[in-house]
């Protein structure tokens, strides 16, 4: 769902940050559309891409990496559920909004509630309400379920929250 919005919105020359980039599948699609991509993950991808500027980092290390950077898009798909919620809401999301250029967008997909099946590393769950304070929500879907197969045989029902937040453009107010 949200990946279709990302593919529709990305343009040649955009500067994009992919947080929790995993195997770089999305980063590769963004590069193929002409985007300049920085990617962050705690695990180094098995097939790195020379066109992607990759940073190996934990959530807690992200703020030091992003000093003085600006992005047209910041993407965090299926990663925030592995982060402490207090840290995400008080440090990461404000940082993501700060590094966005005016009119830039933050794309989030995360877990709404504990999925069926065994997920021992999941720390946090988010609703749209958690994200509304960070900017204008231009797209939001909550509590849709997708069935996934873990290790190709264990069916798992996952309830997601998808959200796109736009950073407002500064408007000048003239007084007479």
pLDDT, tens digit (0-9, with 9 covering 90-100), for 8-38: 999 999 999 999 999 999 999 999 999 999 9
Q: How buried is 22 (Cβ within 10 angstroms: 0-12 exposed, 13-18 middle, 19+ buried)?
A: middle
Over the stretch 94-136, which tens digit does the pLDDT of each residue have? 999 999 999 999 999 998 877 666 566 788 889 899 999 999 9
Domain 2-166: state its class: alpha beta
**Cα–Cα dist 89/67, whole Å:** 18
Give the Å distances, CA to CA, from 166 to 34, 44, 153.
Answer: 21, 30, 38
Spans of all domains in the chain: 2-166
Q: What is the pLDDT of residue 161?
A: 86
Higher pLDDT, 169 or 93: 93
Q: Is the pLDDT of residue 152 over 60?
A: no
User: What pLDDT does 117 receive?
Assistant: 63
Write down the pLDDT at residue 113.
78
Distance CA 176, CA 172 (A): 13
- Burial (CB count <10 Å: 0-12, 13-18, 19+), residue 21: buried
Per-residue pLDDT, averaged over 135-156, amounts to 66
Q: What is d(CA 139, CA 126) in angstroms, rounded to the nearest whole number?
A: 15
């Amino acid at each position: 769902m949200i990946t279709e919005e990302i593919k529709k919105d990305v343009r040649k020359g955009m500067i994009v940050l992919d947080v929790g980039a995993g195997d770089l599948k999305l980063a590769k699609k963004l590069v193929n559309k002409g985007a300049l991509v920085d990617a962050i993950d705690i695990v180094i991808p098995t097939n790195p891409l020379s066109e992607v500027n990759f940073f190996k980092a934990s959530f807690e290390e992200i703020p030091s990496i992003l000093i003085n950077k600006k992005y047209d898009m910041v993407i965090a798909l299926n990663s925030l559920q592995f982060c402490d919620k207090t840290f995400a809401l008080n440090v990461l999301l404000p940082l993501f909004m700060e590094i966005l250029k005016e009119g830039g967008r933050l794309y989030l997909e995360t877990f709404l509630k504990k999925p069926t099946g065994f997920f021992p590393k999941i720390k946090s769950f988010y609703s749209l309400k958690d994200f509304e304070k960070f900017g204008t929500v231009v797209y939001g879907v909550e509590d849709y379920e997708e069935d996934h197969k873990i290790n190709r045989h264990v069916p798992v029902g996952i309830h997601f929250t998808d959200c796109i937040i736009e950073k407002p453009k500064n408007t000048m107010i003239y007084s007479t």
